[in-house]
Amino acid sequence: MPTQTPRLLHQALGAQVLQVEGLQGLSSPLLYVSTLPPAAGRPVRGGVPVLFPQFADRGAQPKHGWARDLPWQLVEQRADGGEHVVAYRLMVEQGSRPGWPHAAELQLRAMLSPGALRMQLQVRNTGEQPFAWTGGLHPYFHTRDLEQARLRGLQGAPVADRYAPGRTREGAEPVRWHGAMFECLYDTPAALVLSDGERDIELSMSGFDQWMVWNPGADGARALADLPDDAWRHFVCIEPVRVDRPVELAPGESFSGSLAVRF
């Protein structure tokens, strides 16, 4: 019997990869997607949103930018040879976004094969003036029970901890979670392994240079209208980003950053 080609579930709003199907050997989903609907015009909470041209609230643009709230154009989709490939494009005309007087072309390409998901974000300056941006990819990885999970590879890394500003280095043990709000920016591009007691997920990046690790915890989940109260147990965001060192692009220049997920 031929092996079923794995497939990506995706949507044009934000070029958002939502989930993967047909993966052999996975006892639970690779990505988390909320069971509650988003607000009108907003992306689904979960999957892999794109963050551009601003990370979080570090600037004058909307939180995490506006690329995830816009419809992208599907420019490629094929499933053959055991691989499913999806590519989207977003053309940003000069002056089309309030407070951002630049022109850019964004492309997101996702490639799913047995045992691996690779995503690549490309940004090209199509305008006449240079610009700088921060952001990256915001994947929600599914966990059976986050309190049983651990993240290896960040031991000793420089860290900016939103909830413990005096903490500047990660400890000698893998990262763990215990239901409290968690938001840490790690200044390292190191390869990571997320283990949840059922499987190991290997993560690596190129182009990006920092990892953001986020979970709202029990209190934070209750405050989010598009997230069930107990959903904090079932995901952790491990995001390849550029934050402290923005990407600077002269006219005609391009950036390429990728995330590789192996399972």
Q: Is the peptide bond before 53 cis (omega within 30 degrees of 0)?
A: yes
CA–CA distance, 126 with 112 (Å, rounded to integer): 29
Strand partners of residue 122: 107, 256
- Provide the pLDDT confidence category of residue 198 given band limits of 50, 70 and 90: confident
CA–CA distance, 58 with 236 (Å, rounded to integer): 21
Q: Does the residue 19 lie in any domain?
A: yes
Report residue 50 as tokens: 């794109």
User: pLDDT tens, 70-114?
Assistant: 999 999 999 988 899 999 999 999 999 999 999 999 999 999 999
pLDDT value of residue 1: 38
Report residue 56 as tokens: 């979080």
For residue 200, give the CATH number of its domain. 2.70.98.10
User: pLDDT tens, 105-143?
Assistant: 999 999 999 999 999 999 999 999 999 999 999 999 999
CB atoms within 10 A of CB 200: 12
Report residue 91 as tokens: 């053309």
Q: Does the residue 230 lie in any domain?
A: yes
Give the global pTM.
Answer: 0.96
Q: Does the residue 188 lie in any domain?
A: yes
- Provide the pLDDT confidence category of residue 3 given band limits of 50, 70 and 90: low
User: pLDDT tens, 36-60?
Assistant: 999 888 899 999 999 999 999 999 9
Q: Does the residue 2 lie in any domain?
A: no
Which H or E element spans position 220? helix 217-222
What is the domain range of residue 158? Answer: 7-262
Q: Does the residue 46 lie in any domain?
A: yes
Q: Does the residue 186 lie in any domain?
A: yes
Number of domains in the chain: 1
Q: Does the residue 1 lie in any domain?
A: no
Q: Does the residue 219 lie in any domain?
A: yes
